[in-house]
Amino acid sequence: MPVTFTFGEFLGARSVIGSTLAELGEEHDNLWVITPDIGATLVEFRDRFPERFLDVGLAEQASVGIASGLAYDGNIPVVSGMLPFLSMRALEQIRTDVCYPNLPVKIIGTHGGLVGNGGSTHYAVEDLALMCALTNMTVTSIGDPLMVGEIIRQSMSMPGPIYIRLAVGKKDMVLYEPGQHEVRIGKGIVARDGSDVTIFTHGTTVAQALQAADELAEDGRSVRVVDMFTLKPIDEELIVRCAEETDGRFVVLEDHLAYGGLASRIADVAADRGIRLTAFERLGIPQVYAGFGEDEQLRDKYGYGLSATVAALRRAVAA
């Protein structure tokens, strides 16, 4: 039942996870889905393949350890849950039981960034830094709900682990027309071309970057928006090309700690490749434990909302 959506519509990435896994369960009889009590999105898979669905209850460490055992035995396990808990409570299992033996376990979850209004216990804000540190791990952060399905599908043939980060996944903006861009793990997407400055981002802030680019267009400035949905391995060639083509003017926007996530990955590439940057602006979460509020309010409060993004782009262009 292929469903089509068009740009600007809202769609639950969670429902895409559920329907994609149910389809893949048909194609791969060794696909398992494991969840620590976050099964609402997985009902379709659970109902079709109850023998390969496992809800372990509140037990994140066991969920990943069990996935490891399944993968050692030749299965493809998907662990789906809330990322603040999977990425921290089960961090050692992810590192030692999955990444060390390089097993094809997929970690898919929600609550990446200051989303969901759950308070700092329920915001995954360090997760990308933690996951990028792990040898063998591929790290992604997806904003476009339709892309989620495509990434899960591509990950089926990967020999090693992958981390797939979503925001809340209840209501995400469709960013791309189906087939508009080539979507390939490890390759950034130029969501909009431009020549004055590049803004790199991932996840739900891609939509905000596109809006900011619109505002700069009113100033007569041309902003390139790059959806760097794969943080590891990072698309170095695209970074090099953007530096050349937008005069070394970079802004990085992310719903993650400003240090340790995509901005740090790009800064590493710039340092290692000897890229001379004219401007480098980081927009992300400062070193605070954020309180409550709606997503946009929190982004504004912590300095990476739309107006801050527009201001950073203007500074970068003027530098």
Partner 1 sequence: MSRSTLPTAEEPHTVAELEDLAFELRSKLLELCGTYEGAVHIGGDLSAADIFTALFHYGLHVDPTDLRNPARDRFVLSKGHAAVCMYITMAMRGFFSYEGIVETYGQLDSAYGMHPCKVQLPGVEASTGSLGHGLPIAVGMALSARGRGESHRVVTLLGDGETGEGSVWEAAMAARSNKLGNLVAFVDRNRQLMTSFAEERVVFEPYPDKWAAFGWNVVHIDGHDMAQLVEAIDALPPTDSDRPTVVVCETVKGKGVDFMEHNLAWHAGSLGAADLERAMAALLASREKESV
- Residue numbers 206-235 binding partner 1 by CB under 8 A: none
Q: Give the binding-site size for partner 1 (rule: CB under 8 A).
A: 29
Q: Confirm if 302 and 258 have CB atoms less than 8 A apart.
A: no
**Interface pick for partner 1 out of 19, 96, 154, 278 (rule CB under 8 A):** 96
- The residue among 96 and 278 lying less far from partner 1, judged by its C-beta, is 96
Residue 101 interacting with partner 1 (CB under 8 A)? yes
- CA-closest candidate to residue 210, choices 253, 261, 146: 253
Residue 93 interacting with partner 1 (CB under 8 A)? yes
Residue 88 interacting with partner 1 (CB under 8 A)? no
Residue 67 interacting with partner 1 (CB under 8 A)? yes
Q: Which residues of 69-97 are buried (b: 16+ CB within 10 A; e: fewer)?
A: ebbeeebbbbbbbbbbbbbebbbebbbeb
**Interface pick for partner 1 out of 66, 209, 225, 251 (rule CB under 8 A):** 66
- The residue among 59 and 133 lying less far from partner 1, judged by its C-beta, is 59
**Interface pick for partner 1 out of 35, 61, 155, 205 (rule CB under 8 A):** 61
**Can you point out the beta strands (E) in 258-307?**
279-285
Report how far residue 85's alpha carbon sits from residue 90's, in angstroms, rounded to the nearest whole number: 7
Residue 71 interacting with partner 1 (CB under 8 A)? yes
Can you count the helices (H) and strands (E) in the chain? 12, 14
Q: Confirm if 229 and 189 have CB atoms less than 8 A apart.
A: yes
Residue 64 interacting with partner 1 (CB under 8 A)? yes
- Binding segment (CB under 8 A) for partner 1, from list 7-15, 71-79, 124-132, 308-316: 71-79
Report how far residue 245's alpha carbon sits from residue 132's, in angstroms, rounded to the nearest whole number: 27
- Contact footprint for partner 1 (CB under 8 A): 32, 51-52, 54, 56-57, 59, 61-62, 64-75, 77, 92-93, 96-97, 100-102
